[in-house]
Amino acid sequence: MNIVQFPKPSLHDIPQMLRNIADDIEAGHFGVPVSGVMVLESEESLYNFGWGDAEGFKAIGLFYSGAQMLMEGQ
């Protein structure tokens, strides 16, 4: 009997998914990036990140807009 290990689904490999997003940005798949925000949950805490022109209220607005898009299935 052989036991075959199935690879983890790529969505669960967070570092690789971030690398894929960076590759897509560098390849121009999202146009010219202006701002980016991200929430990272670890076993210990939540971490918020903002890049580019994503500070203060703009970052909050981007998080809210992203949440709305998810709720609407976009």
What residue spans define the domains of the chain?
32-74
- Residue pLDDT, tens place only, 52-70: 999 889 999 999 998 999 8
Is pLDDT larger for residue 39 or for residue 2?
Answer: 39
Q: What is the pTM of this model?
A: 0.72
Asked if 39 contacts 48 with a C-beta cutoff of 8 angstroms, the reply is yes
Is pLDDT larger for residue 50 or for residue 5?
Answer: 50
Cα(18)–Cα(29) distance, integer angstroms: 15
Q: In this model, does residue 34 exceed pLDDT 90?
A: yes
